[in-house]
Chain A
Amino acid sequence: MSEQNVHPGMNLGYDGGEEEAEVKIFGFWAFVMSDLVTFGLVFAIFGTMAGSTAGGPGPEEVTDLTSVAIQTVLLLGSSFGFSWASLSMKYHPKSRWRTLGWLAVAATSALGFLVLEVVDFHHWTTIGAVPQRSGYLSALWALVGLHGLHVAGGLIWMAAMTGQILVFGLTDDIKSRVTRMGLYWHFLDVVWVGIFSMVFLAGVA
């Protein structure tokens, strides 16, 4: 059993706690799906409002493709760092610092993403592209902001988990939490793929 994956996300080599982990991870997967519907609907609302600029700044003015490209690389890097953390947890369960090191890479990278996003938001306010200006900007801020809030929440979670790893070590319970966090983190990537291609790139195409 422990050699097989019994749920989405990687199996981290449990020590008897597979079944409990399986239920929890499936439950979290259902939550992610519910969240996916939330994002999908905000996307749909953005779609209906894409033209409602009401004479204010449009996609041409707000899109800084260089910044978006760097953000994409940072987020992908964070996801990759997280995968590496999971792998060291699975194959080197004795050295928790190795796992924590990769988690730090993932967190730093995501933090860079957030900083750049905030810089973008700040830039938008300086050119008058505030959400109060038009329906299009409201939807843009809500969609990008919702994703950003998810990333920020993930960072808090990662910080808490770092503490838990230090306190408890790499127990089955912690492994299950890391797997769930991984689902969340990679899910946010999928959403970001939608945002950079359908909001930013499609906006200026």
Chain B
Amino acid sequence: MSLKQKLLLDSKNAEEAAERRFYTIGLVLSIVLTVASFASVMTGLLPHGWALPALALLALAQIVVHLRIFLHIDLTRQKREDLQLLLFTILLLGMMAFGTLWIMADLEARMM
């Protein structure tokens, strides 16, 4: 094996190790967040009324972790179109989902 080949292989191995580390971090983070979510409900440690906001925040954090690590969405230039598409989708979905909840809750209140 020539030196050049060996160097190439080394850098490739280093890259592989880096990617493995990246995924492992993702797995650990998502497990921690999942455990936190379940714990916030199952242990009953949180005061009443705090569980829902805590759950929402933890879910949001976990979704961001998944997007960043497993779906490789980031701020670099090549992926800007994908990020823009994601943000645009979230904007439209936000309008539709929030609108639905608002409209139906309003209706519910007037039917009571």
Q: Which residues of A contact B (CB under 8 A)?
A: 4-10, 26, 29-30, 33, 36-37, 40-41, 43-45, 47-48, 65, 69, 72-73, 76, 79-80, 83-84, 87, 90-91, 182-183, 186-187, 189-190, 193-194, 196-198, 201-202, 204-205
A29, B97: Cβ atoms closer than 8 Å: no
B63, B71, B96: most-surrounded residue (chain A CB, <10 A): B71
| B67 in the interface (beta carbon within 8 A) | yes
B71, A186: Cβ atoms closer than 8 Å: yes
Q: A72-B34, A205-B51 are in contact. Are A5 and B79 (CB under 8 A)?
A: yes
Residues of B within 8 A of A186 (CB): 66, 70-71
A205, B72: Cβ atoms closer than 8 Å: no
The complex places the Cα of A8 from the Cα of B89 at a distance, in Å, of 15
A-side binding surface: helix, strand, loop or mixed?
A: helix
B-side binding surface: helix, strand, loop or mixed?
A: helix
Q: Told that A8-B72, A9-B71 touch, could you supply 14 new A-B pairs with CB distance under 8 A? A: A5-B72, A8-B71, A10-B19, A10-B72, A26-B81, A29-B82, A40-B97, A48-B104, A69-B38, A76-B27, A90-B19, A197-B55, A201-B51, A205-B40
Q: A41-B96, A69-B38 are in contact. Are A198 and B55 (CB under 8 A)?
A: yes
B51, A41: Cβ atoms closer than 8 Å: no
Residues of A within 8 A of B93 (CB): 36-37, 40-41
Residues of A within 8 A of B31 (CB): 76
Contact-residue size bin, chain B (C-beta under 8 Å from the other chain):
35 or more
Closest residue of chain A to B78 (Cβ to Cβ) is: A6
List the 5 shortest-distance A-B pairs measured between CB atoms, nearest first: A205-B51, A186-B70, A197-B59, A48-B104, A44-B97
Across the interface, A190 reaches (CB within 8 A) one of B67, B96, B105, namely B67
| B75 in the interface (beta carbon within 8 A) | no
**In the assembled complex, how far is the CB of residue A162 from the closest CB belonging to chain B, in whole angstroms?**
21
A205, B52: Cβ atoms closer than 8 Å: yes
Please encode chain B, from 75 to 108, with 1 for each CB lying within 8 Å of some chain A CB and 0 for all others.
Answer: 0101101100110010011001100110011000
A76, B34: Cβ atoms closer than 8 Å: yes
**In the assembled complex, how far is the CB of residue A74 from the closest CB belonging to chain B, in whole angstroms?**
12
Residues of A within 8 A of B58 (CB): 197
Residues of A within 8 A of B15 (CB): 91
Across the interface, B100 reaches (CB within 8 A) one of A44, A72, A182, A194, namely A44
A-B contacts, 29 listed (Cβ < 8 Å): A5-B78, A8-B79, A8-B82, A10-B72, A33-B85, A36-B89, A37-B92, A40-B97, A41-B93, A47-B101, A48-B100, A48-B105, A73-B34, A90-B19, A91-B12, A91-B15, A186-B66, A186-B70, A189-B66, A190-B67, A190-B71, A193-B59, A197-B58, A197-B59, A198-B59, A201-B40, A201-B41, A205-B40, A205-B55
